[in-house]
């Protein structure tokens, strides 16, 4: 065997492998530099200024939470909170504070803070979604990762609510910069949310609840309206 020829061939093969490896690395870097693409059925939103626009959530209307079996029946008189939207993304974050909350059965206050009647949520991820495309486009927001525990009747009753929930954006005016949006959460019956899917297909999203008394989790529903106002005169344009 010609040792020189053999050595040259091995070097040539190694050189080709290194070139392919380098090409693969460059391709991966190029892909990672591209902006993230919204998942199917999701759409992006653009902030009027900055990479992130912040807003406040407010509602003076009553919000209720219940299950088909009557496991949780809580009524809150007002809703507040904070929200952020990442420009050019389909996602953001929402944290809500419900006040004036009481258990309807015992008419006693509920809380998970030091303030009677106040229930605050964890920070949830918000997704801009198309609930339905035909015959009329319905635009919504999917909140994921809810995980809230609160107590009523002086701590004698304790409930945990987890999961995901979809609300409808009223008059979204797709493509137009807005200083506020209104989102409604509805139910078809107690414990059953009106909207559970993105584009009416695929994964079903629900809230679930239990009362820490050995019961199983049951599907829960929240009913209420939230008004989102973007801070500092900023605007959000839904690209739906």
| 60-64: average pLDDT | 91
Q: What one-character DSSP code corresponds to residue 232?
A: G
Residue 57 lies in a domain: yes
State residue 40's pLDDT score: 84
Range of the domain at 180: 45-238
Answer yes or no: is pLDDT of 17 > 90. no
Residue 102 lies in a domain: yes
Are residue 114 and residue 2 in the same domain, yes or no?
A: no
Higher per-residue confidence, 153 vs 4: 153
State residue 54's pLDDT score: 94
Residue 39 lies in a domain: no
pLDDT by residue (tens digit) across 182-235? 999 999 999 999 999 999 999 999 999 988 776 778 999 999 999 999 987 789
Are residue 170 and residue 101 in the same domain, yes or no?
A: yes
Are residue 9 and residue 62 in the same domain, yes or no?
A: no
Q: What is the mean pLDDT of the chain?
A: 84
What sign for the dihedral angle of Cα 55, 131, 91, 190?
positive
Are residue 27 and residue 143 in the same domain, yes or no?
A: no
How many structural domains comprise the chain? 2
Are residue 51 and residue 162 in the same domain, yes or no?
A: yes
Are residue 20 and residue 62 in the same domain, yes or no?
A: no
Are residue 18 and residue 70 in the same domain, yes or no?
A: no
Euclidean distance between CA atoms 103 and 61, whole angstroms: 17
Are residue 94 and residue 206 in the same domain, yes or no?
A: yes
Are residue 142 and residue 121 in the same domain, yes or no?
A: yes
Are residue 98 and residue 208 in the same domain, yes or no?
A: yes
Secondary structure class of 239 (helix, strand, coil): coil
Residue 185 lies in a domain: yes
Sole residue written with tokens 């206050």: 109
Higher per-residue confidence, 29 vs 144: 144
Within 8 A by CB and 6+ apart from 233, the residues are 179
Secondary structure class of 80 (helix, strand, coil): strand
């Amino acid at each position: 065997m010609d040792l020189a020829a053999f050595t040259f061939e091995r070097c040539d093969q190694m050189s080709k492998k290194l070139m392919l490896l380098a090409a693969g690395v460059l391709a991966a870097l190029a892909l990672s530099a591209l902006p993230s693409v919204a998942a199917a059925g999701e759409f992006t939103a653009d902030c009027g200024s900055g990479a992130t626009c912040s807003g406040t959530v407010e509602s003076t209307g009553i919000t209720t939470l219940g299950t088909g079996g009557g496991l949780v029946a809580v009524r809150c008189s007002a809703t507040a909170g904070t929200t952020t939207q990442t420009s050019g993304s389909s996602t953001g974050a929402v944290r809500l504070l419900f006040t004036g909350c009481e258990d309807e059965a015992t008419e006693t206050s509920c809380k998970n803070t030091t303030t009677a009647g106040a229930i605050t949520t964890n920070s949830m991820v918000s997704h801009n979604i198309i609930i339905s495309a035909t015959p009329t486009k319905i635009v919504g927001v999917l909140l994921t990762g809810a995980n809230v525990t609160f107590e009523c009747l002086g701590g004698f009753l304790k409930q945990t609510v987890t999961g995901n929930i979809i609300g409808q954006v009223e008059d979204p005016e797709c493509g137009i910069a807005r200083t506020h949006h209104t989102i409604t959460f509805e139910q078809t019956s107690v414990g059953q949310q009106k909207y559970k899917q993105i584009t009416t297909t695929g994964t079903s999203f629900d809230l679930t609840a239990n009362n820490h008394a050995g019961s199983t989790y049951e599907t829960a529903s929240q009913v209420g309206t939230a008004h989102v106002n973007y801070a500092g005169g900023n605007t959000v344009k839904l690209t739906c």
